[in-house]
Amino acid sequence: MNNRAYALDALRGYAIITMVLSATIVTQVLPGWMSHAQTPPPDHIFNPSLPGITWVDLVFPFFLFAMGAAFPFSIGKRAEKGDSKLKLIYEAVKRGVQLTFFAIFIQHFYPYVLSSPQDIRAWLLAILCFAVLFPMFMRIPLKMPDWAHTGIKIAAYGIAVIMMLTTSYADGRTFSLYFSNVIILLLANMAISLIMHKRITTTLAKAKALKKYVEPLITKSKDDTTNSRRVVFSYLQNKYAVTELFKEISVKVADRPGGYTRIIKTGFRQGDNAAMCFIELVDYDENMAKQATKKTRTRRSKKSAAKAEEAPAAEAPAAETATETPASAE
């Protein structure tokens, strides 16, 4: 147990490298079939109906396996040193709490989470966040008493808590344990679809969130500079969408001060009764607003309509017999 498991270290390193590749390169350079289940370039839009998996889908399982396989080695090494079971349980719980705090803390201090669009304040707070993380998890190489090491860690955690509770985030949000970056990724994919196709259909709640997300990016595209392109690219992570936004859409909306999108309700979705709508770029198709989609009729409404049609048909023969009766009496 004194020797390191180099094969496990290699697998962990491979998983980290593939994480970097899948997050930064795959949607910009490599072809679509090497990404997640996505449509091919230039869209690169997630499509859950596409079958099969790619190497990107194996990145997280590899990393999870490497982390899980490391536990027996770590516990075995501590057991050989004579640590009791109670201490092992304490260390495992402490490490779990530390990693949970790490995840909550770091996801609140990405630059694109702190401001929209990103500014100097957001980047400085992000750098400060990573500076605070070092005393939390690093083993300080200086010779000092144990109480000093513990005091530095507690101070770092205290600073982190104060930062989370006092920092204002994009869109006026405050600290929340329920905040998730998945929502931002979803909005980014929807923004790419809207930019490429000019109109998409979605739920009303998502459309309202997308409107707040994409309109500042359209405003930013009016200033066609390298910095503006980098800021927009940091949100979309799709060079085709960025090119379309700066070359086509920015020219189209150049004279419009704001309100680049509109939301038109189309009814309710069957099943969960969610409010549906389409969101579109205002300046691209003036006739889109007139193309109102017809509401789908349920079986119950069809039956009631059929009964309504049968009722007049049944009344017509009755009226005919009523008129024939006086004639026969004469």
Tell me the pLDDT band of 160, cut-offs 50, 70 and 90. very high
- The phi, psi pair for 115, rounded to 5°, reads -155, 155
**Of 48-52, 113-117, 230-234, 290-294, which range is least confident?**
290-294
Q: What is the pTM of this model?
A: 0.49
Q: What is the pLDDT of residues 295-314, one digit of tens each?
A: 444 445 445 555 545 544 44
- Residues 166-190: tens digit of each pLDDT: 888 776 677 777 666 666 677 888 8
- Report d(CA 233, CA 255) in Å as an integer: 23
How far is Cα 279 from Cα 259, in angstroms, rounded to an integer? 12
Query: What is the reported pLDDT for 159?
Result: 93
CATH number, span 181-290? 3.90.1030.10
Per-residue pLDDT tens over the stretch 261-274: 999 999 998 878 88
pLDDT digits 0-9 by tens, 47-99: 555 666 667 777 878 888 888 888 788 788 888 888 888 888 888 888 888 88
Residue 2 pLDDT class (50, 70, 90 cuts): low
Query: Residue 121 in contact with residue 179, Cβ under 8 Å?
Result: no
Give the Å distances, CA to CA, from 49 to 37, 45, 96, 309: 8, 12, 36, 41
Sheet hosting strand 199-203, strand order edge to edge = 199-203, 275-281, 261-268
Mean pLDDT, the chain, rounded, equals 76
In the numeric block, the tokens 């990573």 are attached to 130
Does 289 have pLDDT greater than 50? no
| Domain parsing of the chain, residue ranges | 6-172, 181-290
pLDDT(246) > 70: yes
